[in-house]
Amino acid sequence: MSQLSQQQRGFRVHAPLVDSVSCYCKVDAGLKTVAGARKFVPGSKICIQPDINPRAHKTKNGRRERTRVQPPLLPGLPDDLAIACLTRVPRADHNKLRLVSKRWFRLLSSNYFYSLRKTLGMAEEWVYVFKRDRDGRISWHAFDPTYQIWQPVPPIPTEYSDALGFGCAVLSGFHLYLFGGKDPLKGSMRRTVFYNARTNRWHKAPDMLRKRHFFGSCVINNCLYVAGGECEGTHRTLRSAEFYDPNKHRWNFISDMSTAMVPFIGVVYNGKWFLKGLGVHREVLSEAYTPETNTWMSITDGMIAGWRNPSISIDGKLYALDCRDGCRLRVYEEDTNSWKKFIDSKVHFGSSPALEAAALVPLNGKLCIIRNNMSISLVDISSPNKQIETNPHLWENIAGKGHMKTMFTNLWSSISGRNGQKSHIVHCQVLQA
């Protein structure tokens, strides 16, 4: 009994034995600090548990503090109203807005912002032109139809600054792709790059499966198709074709063309891709590709016979130019399988190379004609029966970059008998942002 009493007395006198290297911070759920834990559990080590780690709580609280004191997009307005205001700012000022703050930069570089602009009907369409200068170099320019001025753009990727026969197409409405082509030193390329009109930057994309230049290209169901063209080697003229799916980020081969061809004109019409070009023996060939069946077939009807470049398909109708300066248009009629006169501007500029129409693109519901001297005409194709003389807005001529300068330069060149390499447009597309 005396021994047991001594043990009991010892138990009452001495503190519990603890491991000096163990963590007892969770002895009491109410303890939130190491100091509090040591008060009841002597000898416990510094706590490393995340729920009572002072640093962890400090980091979370600090993050909440930073969020709480983050300045609004516009002082005095909730962010949703500020975004509603910013979406209405003209596209020409977006580069400046990105410099205001990091929050504005992130907002104006996001798909959310531009998707909202498109939903609200605020998205703007600009014309992008790729031009080969007199020295053979490629330059590109962006035309803002709202202010009718040419806006600055980032430098073109170096691999395309001197390239020949490369393709150009638009996917998703705001991604402009450059692909293939021929480098003067390295030869044919499989290279693919794209420009994002929403972020104003160039990016790399997967290379094509086949090197090629001077080929045909089109967009069907937001997929990029290429066919034919040339490549160095024994069989220079190509029959192969492939397509790029931006959702899968991958190129895939499709059925070969019936014959090898170097296309010089192409259009998507009635769900088919029509191509016209030169064969191996320089003969004129025409083929049509049907995506649903993945098949090619030769075409020899009236559409192909009267088909001229440039041309475009809008709202189920096929249009083509009927003169060099693009001041007269034709339309294809399926009922008669022939081309008919559509509309005449009654004002013709001439037939010099500088005034020659190089491209037809849709712009804000109208047909846009771009000439080599960078002048632009807008045609309201929805009202062709109206008289030009009494409806000046039916056909609007816009003096573009260097319009008058080019006219005087060409006039002087004709008088002096100069016959050098002329600058000309090689591609033209419309992007929305």
- Residue 38 domain boundaries: 2-67
- Regarding whether 158 and 257 lie in a shared domain, the answer is yes
pLDDT band at residue 70 under the 50/70/90 scheme: confident
- Regarding whether 132 and 55 lie in a shared domain, the answer is no
Give me the pLDDT at residue 86, please: 97
* Mean pLDDT, rounded, for 288-313: 92
Share of the chain above pLDDT 70, in %: 77
pLDDT band at residue 36 under the 50/70/90 scheme: low
b/e string for 257-275 if b means 16 or more Cβ within 10 A? Answer: bebbbbbebbbbbeebbbb
Each residue of 161-206: pLDDT tens digit?
999 999 999 999 999 999 999 999 999 999 999 999 999 999 999 9
pLDDT band at residue 61 under the 50/70/90 scheme: low
Q: What share of the chain is helix, strand, coil (3-state, %, to 5)?
A: 20, 35, 45
Q: Over 60: is that where the pLDDT of 62 sits?
A: no
- Regarding whether 180 and 158 lie in a shared domain, the answer is yes
For the record, the structure tokens of 362 come out as: 């849709």
- Regarding whether 166 and 295 lie in a shared domain, the answer is yes
Q: Over 70: is that where the pLDDT of 311 sits?
A: yes
- Regarding whether 197 and 325 lie in a shared domain, the answer is yes
**Which amino acid type is present at position 357?**
A
The sheet with strand 328-333 has its strands ordered as: 311-314, 317-321, 328-333, 338-344
- Regarding whether 294 and 212 lie in a shared domain, the answer is yes
Domains identified in the chain, total number: 3
- Regarding whether 219 and 301 lie in a shared domain, the answer is yes
- Regarding whether 172 and 290 lie in a shared domain, the answer is yes
* Mean pLDDT, rounded, for 292-302: 93
Find out whether 31 and 37 touch, Cβ atoms under 8 Å. Answer: yes
- Regarding whether 131 and 41 lie in a shared domain, the answer is no
Each residue of 173-183: pLDDT tens digit?
999 999 999 99
Phi, psi (degrees; rounded to nearest 5) at 290: -110, 110
Select from 92, 119, 146 the last residue of a domain. 119
Each residue of 133-142: pLDDT tens digit?
999 999 999 9
- Regarding whether 345 and 250 lie in a shared domain, the answer is yes
Q: Which long-range contacts link 264-272 to residues 24+ away (Cβ below 8 Å)? A: 264/309, 265/307, 265/308, 265/309, 265/310, 265/311, 266/216, 266/217, 266/218, 267/218, 267/311, 267/312, 267/313, 267/318, 268/218, 268/219, 268/220, 268/313, 269/313, 269/318, 270/316, 271/220
- Regarding whether 151 and 23 lie in a shared domain, the answer is no
pTM for this entry: 0.80
Residue 83: CATH number of its domain = 1.20.1280
Q: Over 50: is that where the pLDDT of 155 sits?
A: yes
Find out whether 330 and 354 touch, Cβ atoms under 8 Å. Answer: no
Find out whether 89 and 116 touch, Cβ atoms under 8 Å. Answer: no
CA distances from residue 150 to 79, 143, 210, 401 in whole angstroms, order as listed:
32, 4, 35, 7
- Regarding whether 133 and 111 lie in a shared domain, the answer is no
* Mean pLDDT, rounded, for 353-378: 95
Find out whether 312 and 362 touch, Cβ atoms under 8 Å. Answer: yes
Q: Which long-range contacts link 342-347 to residues 24+ away (Cβ below 8 Å)? A: 342/381, 342/384, 343/379, 343/381, 343/384, 343/388, 343/394, 343/395, 344/388, 345/377, 345/379, 345/388, 345/395, 345/397, 346/388, 346/389, 347/397
* Mean pLDDT, rounded, for 294-302: 92
Find out whether 313 and 267 touch, Cβ atoms under 8 Å. Answer: yes
Select from 88, 119, 150 the last residue of a domain. 119
**In this predicted structure, which of 23-27, 40-44, 75-79, 147-151 has the lowest mean pLDDT?**
23-27
Residue 231: CATH number of its domain = 2.120.10.80
